Structure 1
Amino acid sequence: MKSEKNDHVKEPDIEYGLYTYADYLTWEMDEMVELIKGKIFKRDIAAPALNHQRISMHLSNKFYNFLRGKTCQVFHAPFDVRLPVKSRKNQDIDTVVQPDICVVCDPAKLDAAGCLGAPDLVVEILSPGNNKRELKNKYEVYEEAGVREYWVIHPNEQTLLIYSLVEGRYQASRFFVPGDEVTSACLPSFFLDLEEIFEE
């Protein structure tokens, strides 16, 4: 999973350990993990549910088609997003996440390892095992890092909530539901019909 291999890597302590991106690069783990403020969070072991996959594909395609020929680019998991605070050095970065979908408009943030710095827009699609991580932990790190828009999609309830960064703090939209038309402050003229995203 990681780009560097090490036969003498100590298994990380998921319960109590605090780690950095430099540690993350040395791990050989069978499952996807994220690092949030130094703590390890396992991604769901099971493959995403069918609705999750459908929504992810629909929305990724909408972003991709809209962004063709533009500076902004869309990426989907697995794709490492490193969110530096103190410095951009691997040993100082303690948050590495893999959003379901993200849009990056500054090419300077992209490198061979993924994205270094805050994407402009992040989409997380909830599943039973990750609601707490998305709604609390990731909310905090996305806000602190300066992610301009954070979209949270609940497949079962068929809702979309958009957090927009205003003077360094997130402001929540109302819940959008099928039949609503959604736009993005990050992507002028982007238009999304939620009926298409949630269709069976």
Structure 2
Amino acid sequence: MLPRTRVPGGFTSADLETLPEGMRYELIGGQLLVTPPPLLNHHRVVGHLLVLLYDNCPDELEVILGPLEFRPSTGHVLLPDLLACRREDAGARRVSRLLLAVEVLSPSTRTTDRLLKRAVYEDAGVTSYWLFDPEAEELTVLELLDGAYVERAVVKGNDVFAAELPFVVPLVPSDLVRSA
């Protein structure tokens, strides 16, 4: 049963602890976001990205498979699909500071990832935000410049992209959607 709240935007991180398992729960500005578990193609992309990022990650950083909570401020609890952070910023259940947040778009999360989460990650000072669209085989790379995200690249299909932030990693979008 969902916690009752009478005030719009009145959900808190404590309310998340009372929710039943099986769905993904996030908060943006106290608004509860509920999404179903991801489908196979989503898992495939996340798995390929995890291996690629892990293999290129410097020792002082850590690449983590979500969901692991990121609580940048009161009323916000996000669960990025993948993330990179400094080792000291990773706790058992949450990360205190992100260098990279990765979201793989799906029909149920597309708008939230592109608009709402982008704004929260930007306000929190997350250096890089990647959005991957498996249907279009397209990676959008956003990087923080003077407190605002700028589009560093939009990479499609077989094009090669060499990310520089938060560390150097080459990737090809079409490789992320292929089955093994």
Could you tell me the TM-score, scaled by structure 1's length? 0.80
Contact 1:14–1:39, Cα closer than 8 Å, also in 2: no
**Residues 163/133 of structure 1: CA separation in 2 closer, same or farther (3 Å cut):** same
Q: How far apart in 1 are the matches of 2:7 and 2:38?
A: 24
**Residues 10/55 of structure 1: CA separation in 2 closer, same or farther (3 Å cut):** closer
Question: Could you tell me which of 23, 26, 29 is aligned with 2:20?
Answer: 29
Contact 1:100–1:124, Cα closer than 8 Å, also in 2: yes
Structure 1 vs Structure 2: percent identity of aligned residues? 25
Matched, 1:172 2:159: no
Q: What secondary structure does 1:62 align onto?
A: helix
Q: Aligned residue for 1:64?
A: 54
Deviation of 1:121 (Å): 0.6
Question: Could you tell me which of 37, 42, 62 is aligned with 2:34?
Answer: 42
Q: How far apart in 1 are the matches of 2:167 and 2:2?
A: 47
**Residues 170/23 of structure 1: CA separation in 2 closer, same or farther (3 Å cut):** same
Q: How many residues align?
A: 178
Contact 2:9–2:29, Cα closer than 8 Å, also in 1: no
Q: What secondary structure does 1:97 align onto?
A: coil
Moved over 4 A (4+): none
Q: How does 1:13-162 map to 2 (within 5 A)?
A: 13=5, 16-24=8-16, 26-30=17-21, 31-44=23-36, 47-67=37-57, 70-84=59-73, 93-105=74-86, 107-117=87-97, 119-162=98-141
**Residues 177/191 of structure 1: CA separation in 2 closer, same or farther (3 Å cut):** same
Deviation of 1:21 (Å): 2.3
**Residues 111/12 of structure 1: CA separation in 2 closer, same or farther (3 Å cut):** farther
**Residues 137/10 of structure 1: CA separation in 2 closer, same or farther (3 Å cut):** closer
Q: Aligned residue for 2:162?
A: 183
Q: How far apart in 1 are the matches of 2:71 and 2:141?
A: 22
1:153-196 Cα distance to aligned partner (Å, 9 max, x none): 11111111111110001111342112222222324432223332
Q: How far apart in 1 are the matches of 2:106 and 2:6?
A: 21
Moved more, 72-81 or 144-153: 72-81
Deviation of 1:14 (Å): 9.5
Q: Aligned residue for 1:6?
A: none
**Residues 78/174 of structure 1: CA separation in 2 closer, same or farther (3 Å cut):** closer
Gap regions ≥5 residues in structure 1: 1-8, 85-92
**Residues 13/192 of structure 1: CA separation in 2 closer, same or farther (3 Å cut):** same
Q: How far apart in 2 are the matches of 1:14 and 1:59?
A: 41
- Compute the RMSD of aligned alpha carbons: 2.2
Task: Give 2:19's aligned amino acid.
Answer: E
Deviation of 1:64 (Å): 1.4
Gap regions ≥5 residues in structure 2: none
Instruction: Please say which structure displays the higher CA radius of gyration.
Output: 1
Q: What secondary structure does 1:96 align onto?
A: coil
1:13-62 Cα distance to aligned partner (Å, 9 max, x none): 499341232343x3232322001111110022xx3222211111000111
Q: Aligned residue for 1:89?
A: none
